[in-house]
Amino acid sequence: MRVKLKKWDIVILIGSVIVSFFPLALRFSENSDIVKNIATVAVSGSTVKSLKLVENGIFEFEFAGKKGYVEVFNKKIRMLEMDKATCPEGICSERGWIESSSENIVCLPNRIIVTLGNSNSDVDISTN
């Protein structure tokens, strides 16, 4: 038994193939320089520092009366090591450099999250 494709079958098939590439296009647009030029350091869900990733250097931020440091280099960011009393495991500093909006740095003991991307995003998530 042979099935003959009609005009609308072909249109639907081609449309489905085109739509299947949308997630890939969104992935590339998220990683564009326009979107990832900003890094945000948040403590307990509140932004404490926003950085443009075009400036290289070490930047200080405060949380719970303590100081933390992030380093920016070549549009990448990392968290520098804190003392063992502040961050016993030090996993956040071991995470290393992040450079994609799909990556982040998390320090659970201090509730610190470092993310890349547009600071005006409409994310509907609360860490409280």
Contacting residues for 119 by C-beta, under 8 A, at least 6 apart = 38, 40, 47, 50
Q: Which of 44, 43, 45, 73 is nearest to 59 (CA)?
A: 73
21 domain residue, yes or no:
no
Backbone angles phi, psi at 36, to 5 degrees: -95, 15
53 domain residue, yes or no:
yes
Residue 39's identity, in one-letter code, is A
54 domain residue, yes or no:
yes
Token digits for 60? 């200080």
The structural domain count of the chain equals 1
> Residue 83 belongs to what domain range?
35-116
- Local confidence pLDDT in tens for the 128 residues of the chain: 788 888 998 899 999 999 998 887 766 665 554 455 888 899 998 889 888 888 788 888 888 888 888 889 888 888 998 888 888 888 888 888 988 878 889 988 889 999 887 544 444 433 34
7 domain residue, yes or no:
no
Token digits for 13? 């098939």
d(CA 98, CA 26): 19
> Strands (DSSP E) along the chain, which ranges?
38-43, 46-52, 57-63, 66-73, 76-79, 104-107, 112-116
Q: What is the pTM of this model?
A: 0.62
